[in-house]
Amino acid sequence: MSKEAILSVRNLGISFGGLKAVTNFNLDLYEGELVGLIGPNGAGKTTVFNLLTGVYIPTEGSIHLNGISINGKKTHQVVAAGAARTFQNIRLFKTLTVLENVKIAFTKDIKYTLFDTLFRTGRFWREEAEITAKSMELLKLFNLQDKAEAIATNLPYGQQRKLEIARALATDMKVLLLDEPAAGMNPVETAELLECINLIRQKFNVSILLIEHDMSLVMKICERILVIDYGETIASGLPHEIANNPKVIAAYLGG
Amino acid sequence: MAMPKEKRNGTLINFAAVMLGFVLLYLLKTSGLISNYYQGIIIQCFFTIIMVASLNIATGYLGQLALGHAGFMAIGAYTSALVVKALTNADILNGGTDLEKIILLVIGIACGATLAAIIGALVGIPALRLRGDYLAIITLGFGEIIRVVIQNLKFAGGKGLAAGQAGQALIGIKILNNVYFIYFIMAASIAILFCFVRSKSGRAIVAIREDDIASEASGVNNTHYKVMAFTIAAFFAGVAGAIFAHRGTGTIQPADFTFMKSTEYVIMVVIGGMSSLTGSVIAAVALSIIPEILRAFSEYRMLVYSVLLIIMMIFRPIGLCGRYEFSLRQFLIDLPQNIKNLPRNLQRFWLSCLQSAKDFPGRVKSFFSKDKGRDDGDNDETEAVV
């Protein structure tokens, strides 16, 4: 591809003491692309996510997002640079309402100052109204608009996932990192999730990096797949190539 | 866009309520119903409200157990007392007229609160890297450090400034106890804290309490908002301290700001309800007045106080108000309906009281029977397991 990659990762690695959790990880994610990241349990998939989002500081390699290096940046700076994520175990602001959950992701976009806050200036009300409207729009997209005032933890599991994705989208990102979004979902919910991911791609033109164990889902929606095992990339390519790759089969079945 | 209409009405109603409170206070004072003793208690209520509400920002909304709040109060108290002393000694303002007294108090509050906020930020930046128990210990430590440092400052003891002596109570503090003015300071503090909580900063702070990893991943700069919350809490502790210093006894000492004092405020926050400013106000007033009422049974006073706390923890561990905020506008809207339903609600309340009384032995038993962790809500389940 001639285009510049939105997310470009070179030789990324991290060691915890003597243990090399991830080594030599390379990835080029182009605009609007959906890449799957798979591998057996403990292979280092989530560690890659943590490296990409600034939770861990890489011990080697480089990460460029939109041409800007985000090595060693803090998570909120990475989010501001344009990469947002969801979590393997859903992390919502549990006792807050659905609407508030989404509004919090707009915090960095709000420009009003402490002065505006204390004196409730026109700017305060305008910006608050703006982000409320934007949040409601996002919720509508995920069919959550009727639950806007519900407490987040009271939502059913599938909707909590959707809310988490909506919150990530609210950060106005270019790259979305989804960590096992279908984990613990029944087939109906997974189908809904699939629809939801397709919708996001149409509407927002984001690039998605997806960790997932549900192979049918991965094979259905991913354009390319990376497989890692013991922190090393053992295969990468199109879904049907991966499915027939002997190394991948060995890693999964222990050959 | 201007302020939404219902918000503007709410603001007007609240403003009217504050003025009504002032008129009430004025009438009571001029009719001679408020003696000096009562006025002292009222002022104590006011600065306790500011203390508890500000601590609620750090402990309730941000969710960080801060055990050194009295330390910031001490900074506010000593700074304002010394600044006012310096001004009166130099005869720049001698506080002869009411207006001069108010100006002196404003200067004292401004200086005390600013210094408390600065120290709060300086303490907060390293301390807020820690969480939970560790943060509690380090704030406790800082609170004590502040107290001990003050104890050893030569200009902060005895007659103060040049005539000072380390290790003594600071005496001869100007009395600036204009109850009306302090009332307005208190109302303004609550209004400011409320505006702060209902804004992007307040949302960010609550998000950090709910899940700090998720808040960071949603683009919230955790460190920034944590330090901000802590600084604002310290600022208002400084305000309360300044009022405390000039409340009328003319003396303050380091022993007024011990760790026990901080704990008392934490207790008030918990009783009122974490992250409810309404609860903070109620708890602050109630727990300022109850000890005074119980003075008649002096030796049983602390006993009654403790039993109250235990009963509270058994029946309502989330605090009086939980997260509920009182809205005068909503109250007025609902009032006709509530009056209509009053008999039914009273009956319901009476029945629930009866039920509570019936459950009481079981609740107490299950409360003491085994370690249930933090979840005290479901006693029936525990009983069934036992």
ipTM: 0.91
Which residue in B4, B7, B204 is closest to A107 by CB distance? Answer: B204
Residues of chain B with a CB closer than 8 angstroms to some CB in chain A? 1-4, 7, 11, 192, 195-196, 199-201, 203-204, 206-207, 210-211, 213-222, 323
Determine whether the interchain pair A91/B201 forms a contact, defined as Cβ–Cβ distance below 8 Å: no
Q: At residue B382, does pLDDT exceed 50?
A: no
**Contact assessment for residue A224 and residue A238, using Cβ atoms and an 8 Å cutoff:** yes
What does the DSSP assignment read for A15-72? EETTEEEEEEEEEEE-TT-EEEEE-STTSSHHHHHHHHTTSS--SEEEEEETTEE-TT
- DSSP class of residue B83? H
Of A66-80, B68-82, B345-359, give the range with the top mean pLDDT. B68-82
Mean pLDDT of B318-339: 83
Name every chain A residue with its beta carbon within 8 A of the beta carbon of B214.
87, 91-93
Show the tokens assigned to B163. 């005539």
- DSSP class of residue B14? H
- Predicted confidence at residue B381, as pLDDT, reads 38
**Contact assessment for residue B140 and residue B130, using Cβ atoms and an 8 Å cutoff:** no
Name every chain A residue with its beta carbon within 8 A of the beta carbon of B217.
53, 75, 79, 84-85, 87, 91, 168
Closest of B301, B308, B325, B310 to residue B56, by C-alpha: B325
Which of A50, A75, A103, A163 would best serve as a mutation to test chain B binding (most B beta carbons within 10 A)? A75
Q: How far is CA A47 from CA A13, A42, A59, B70, in A?
A: 10, 9, 13, 43
- DSSP class of residue A1? -
β-bridge mates for residue A62, sequence order: A10
Question: Looking only at Cα atoms, what is the longest distance across chain B?
Answer: 73
Determine whether the interchain pair B211/A93 forms a contact, defined as Cβ–Cβ distance below 8 Å: yes
Residue B375 carries which side chain, given as an amino acid letter? D
**In whole angstroms, what is the distance from residue B229 CA to residue B202 CA?**
9
Closest of B298, B301, B289, B297 to residue B40, by C-alpha: B289
- Predicted confidence at residue B117, as pLDDT, reads 97
pLDDT band at B2 (very low <50, low <70, confident <90, very high): low
- DSSP class of residue B120? H
Segment B103-124, tens digit of pLDDT: 999 999 999 999 999 999 999 9
Name every chain A residue with its beta carbon within 8 A of the beta carbon of B193.
none
Antiparallel, parallel or unpaired: β A224-229 and A232-237: antiparallel
Name every chain B residue with its beta carbon within 8 A of the beta carbon of A52.
none
Give the gyration radius of chain A's Cα atoms: 19
- Predicted confidence at residue B108, as pLDDT, reads 94
**In whole angstroms, what is the distance from residue A178 CA to residue A176 CA?**
6
Segment B240-250, tens digit of pLDDT: 999 999 998 88
Determine whether the interchain pair A104/B207 forms a contact, defined as Cβ–Cβ distance below 8 Å: yes
Q: At residue B195, does pLDDT exceed 90?
A: yes
Name every chain B residue with its beta carbon within 8 A of the beta carbon of A87.
213-214, 217
Nearest CA in chain B to A100: B203
Element (H, E) at B362: helix B342-369
Residue ranges, chain A, pLDDT below 50: 1-2
Residue A53 near chain B (CB below 8 Å): yes
**For residue A186, how many C-alpha atoms fall within 13 Å in the half-sphere facing its CB?**
4
What does the DSSP assignment read for B152-219? T-GGGSBT-GGGB-TTS-B--PPP---HHHHHHHHHHHHHHHHHHHSSHHHHHHHHHHH-HHHHHHTT
Determine whether the interchain pair A104/B203 forms a contact, defined as Cβ–Cβ distance below 8 Å: yes
**Contact assessment for residue B277 and residue B318, using Cβ atoms and an 8 Å cutoff:** no
Name every chain B residue with its beta carbon within 8 A of the beta carbon of A129.
1, 4
Which residue in B210, B217, B219 is closest to A107 by CB distance? Answer: B219
**In whole angstroms, what is the distance from residue B180 CA to residue B185 CA?**
9
Question: B35: helix, coil or strand?
Answer: coil
Determine whether the interchain pair B200/A110 forms a contact, defined as Cβ–Cβ distance below 8 Å: yes
- Predicted confidence at residue B377, as pLDDT, reads 43
Closest Cα of chain A to B193: distance in Å?
8
Cβ-based neighbours of B359, under 8 Å, separated by 6 or more: B379
Show the tokens assigned to A166. 């909506």
Residue B319 carries which side chain, given as an amino acid letter? G
Name every chain A residue with its beta carbon within 8 A of the beta carbon of B3.
120, 122, 125
**Contact assessment for residue B49 and residue B89, using Cβ atoms and an 8 Å cutoff:** no
**In whole angstroms, what is the distance from residue B111 CA to residue B121 CA?**
15
Greater pLDDT, A101 or B295: A101
**Contact assessment for residue A30 and residue A38, using Cβ atoms and an 8 Å cutoff:** no
Determine whether the interchain pair A105/B216 forms a contact, defined as Cβ–Cβ distance below 8 Å: no
How many Cβ atoms sit within 10 Å of the Cβ of residue A233? 19
Which residue in B203, B218, B221 is closest to A171 by CB distance? Answer: B218
Name every chain A residue with its beta carbon within 8 A of the beta carbon of B8.
none
Helices B259-272 and B301-315: crossing angle in degrees, nearest 10, is 40
**In whole angstroms, what is the distance from residue A13 CA to residue A194 CA?**
31
Show the tokens assigned to B203. 């949302």
Beta strands in chain B (DSSP E): none
Show the tokens assigned to B257. 């700001």
β-bridge mates for residue A10, sequence order: A62
Residue A251 near chain B (CB below 8 Å): no
Closest Cα of chain B to A249: distance in Å?
34
- Predicted confidence at residue B235, as pLDDT, reads 97
**Contact assessment for residue B225 and residue B208, using Cβ atoms and an 8 Å cutoff:** yes
How many Cβ atoms sit within 10 Å of the Cβ of residue B284? 28
Closest Cα of chain B to A32: distance in Å?
21
What is the model's pTM? Answer: 0.88
- Name which of A66-80, B164-178, B328-342, B357-371 the model is least confident about: B357-371
Segment B140-186, tens digit of pLDDT: 999 999 999 999 998 888 887 888 888 888 988 888 888 999 999 99
**In whole angstroms, what is the distance from residue B57 CA to residue B72 CA?**
14
- Predicted confidence at residue B46, as pLDDT, reads 95
Closest of B90, B68, B262 to residue B161, by C-alpha: B90
**Contact assessment for residue A102 and residue A52, using Cβ atoms and an 8 Å cutoff:** no
Name every chain A residue with its beta carbon within 8 A of the beta carbon of B201.
114, 117
Which of B3, B11, B216, B218 would best serve as a mutation to test chain A binding (most A beta carbons within 10 A)? B218
Q: At residue B371, does pLDDT exceed 70?
A: no
Nearest CA in chain A to B1: A126
Q: How far is CA A220 from CA A212, A239, B68, B110, B218, in A?
A: 12, 8, 57, 64, 29
β-bridge mates for residue A64, sequence order: A8, A69
Name every chain A residue with its beta carbon within 8 A of the beta carbon of B219.
76, 79-80, 84, 105, 107-108, 171
Show the tokens assigned to B135. 């943060």
